[in-house]
Amino acid sequence: VSIDDEGPGIPADQRQTVLEPFHRLEKSRNRATGGAGLGLAVVRSLVEAHGGTIEIAATPGGSTRVNVALPVFRPA
């Protein structure tokens, strides 16, 4: 599954850090102005708990793309 946004993108050197808890790219954001910095960290935990992977990348236009891959479950 790939999800693209239309924002300014995430710099390449910060793409892994946005998956860490409480990380915010915008210094102006805080609890009062919105965001706890947990969204992508929660997604990463859920994806990895199910044996999947998550990758933060750039779209051809420079926005952010989040790629999530989950294994296919095949009952025995």
Q: What is the pLDDT of residues 11-68, one digit of tens each?
A: 899 889 888 888 777 665 556 666 777 888 999 999 999 999 999 999 999 999 999 9
Give the pLDDT score at 50: 94
Count of structural domains, the chain? 1
Residue 38 lies inside a defined structural domain of this protein: yes
- Is residue 11, in this structure, part of any structural domain at all? yes
Does any domain span residue 16?
yes
**Whole-Å CA distances, 1 to 13, 38, 53, 67, 70:** 23, 20, 11, 6, 9
Q: Give the pLDDT of residue 31.
A: 61
For 54, the domain range is 2-69
pLDDT of residue 37: 75
